[in-house]
Structure 1
Amino acid sequence: MTTPTLTPTIDVEPTTANAVTDHFDTLAQTLTQARRHAAHLEAWGRELANRLGVGRRLLVAGNGGSAAEAQHLTAELVGRYREDRGAYSAISLHAETSSVTAIGNDYGFDQVFARQVRAHARSGDIVLLLSTSGGSPNLLEAARAAEDSGATSWALTGPGPNPLARLCDDAICLDGLSPHVQECQLAAIHAMCEVFDACVGKEPQS
């Protein structure tokens, strides 16, 4: 019987020794920078409450991690954030999988959000576009579609200036690396929800 040859182990210092603390340290720096936008986020939360409170809707779009944050926001508004309250109209466009795949197949991936905006958006609605780069072609097309539809467009992006921020009616640009921008997008979403809930109150809609 042949004895298997064992590969000797080499005792080396792990390259991941400081990965977690380094991540948290750089995230803390990005969050500190994000605090500069506190008043701006409060204004967005109030405006969102004003518009959704009179029957307007929110359309949200993003790619990858930003898509996950977009869907997180719509879940908080259609469901609830903290306390029980009425349901509000909010649609995460990437989650419309049949529409996304049909539009992508028939018109190209650049149009997967724009065509939905043209279908759903009305004057007075808000189209919120999330991007770490601020340069995704499908989000740029969505911003153009929002303008054509008479909707208000907001961009929540990574460092500016960037093309998406320039195209939208209003923008908040978060300074930091792409992973930290996505993490701060979630913090920004929850901050807006705090303001939104404070404005609409706890009573269910009539």
Structure 2
Amino acid sequence: MVLNELKDHQNIIQKVIDTLSGDIEAACEMIISTIKSGNKVLLAGNGGSAADAQHIAAELSGRFIKHRKALPGIALTVDTSALTAIANDYGYEHVFARQVEAYAQPGDLFIGISTSGNSPGILNAFDTATQFKCKTLGLSGRDGGKMNGKCQLNIIVPSDITARIQEMHILIGHILCKAVDDLF
């Protein structure tokens, strides 16, 4: 069982290398230009994708590999008072869009993470980020879902298995953080 899991993981990594290297490079350019411009990175996702959003935000505001200045990476998944108030008053599908509306400035980068690419809350947040003239980056899987039409770049992990998609999302997140580290 263990060997099969590792081989499955290896196969997905090879597919990512073969098909997504250019998209990941473009995503690195998006985050680099955002940071160089003095703008911030807003991130959101649900469940495991929320954990990934928080992980990437922590690598930006804390550090990834080397000591550098703290950078504005904000996970929109951590304020339970905002999440529950917005969900109660507007519906769960608006918990991230309302926060994007509160925090976004033109030139910021919104990263939405959804393994299916169809999370209503993430889709609404992309709409709001676009209205606020933010750059938009999606991390998804399967066929990319409705995120394909909602963000400037949707990196679609070529898998239908949620665990494999999430593993690749955090790998891509770490590559983005390495690109940021290389600025300093």
**TM-score band (shorter)?**
over 0.9
SS in 2 for 1:49: helix
| Higher alpha-carbon Rg | 1
Match of 1:90 among 73, 76, 81: 73
Match of 1:116 among 99, 105, 108: 99
Q: 1:147-180: CA deviations, max 9, x gaps?
A: 1111111111002241012211111100111110
Q: Is the 8 A contact 1:123 1:151 kept in 2?
A: yes
Displacement of 1:64 after TM fit?
0.6
Count of residues in Structure 1 that have an aligned counterpart in Structure 2 = 182
Q: Is the 8 A contact 1:66 1:130 kept in 2?
A: yes
- Dislocated runs of 4+, deviation >2 Å: none
Q: Is the 8 A contact 1:61 1:92 kept in 2?
A: yes
Task: Summarize the alignment of residues 46-85 of structure 1 with structure 2, pairs less than 5 Å apart.
Answer: 46-85=29-68
Q: What one-letter code is carried by the residue in structure 1 that aligns with 2:54? A: Q
Q: Is the 8 A contact 1:130 1:156 kept in 2?
A: yes
CA distance in 1, matches of 2:180, 2:165: 22
Q: CA RMSD in A?
A: 1.2
Number of the residue aligned with 1:34? 16
Number of the residue aligned with 1:166? 149
* Structure with the higher helix share, 1 or 2: 2
Q: Percent identity?
A: 34
Number of the residue aligned with 1:8? none
Match of 1:137 among 116, 120, 129: 120
1:188 matched to 2:172: yes
* TM-score where L is the length of structure 1: 0.85
- Structure 1 unaligned residues grouped into runs of 5+: 1-17, 202-206
Q: 1:48-82: CA deviations, max 9, x gaps?
A: 12221231011000011111111110011001111
Displacement of 1:91 after TM fit?
0.5
- Structure 2 unaligned residues grouped into runs of 5+: none
Q: What one-letter code is carried by the residue in structure 2 that aligns with 1:44? A: A
Number of the residue aligned with 1:21? 3
CA distance in 2, matches of 1:45, 1:170: 11
Q: What one-letter code is carried by the residue in structure 1 that aligns with 2:87? A: G
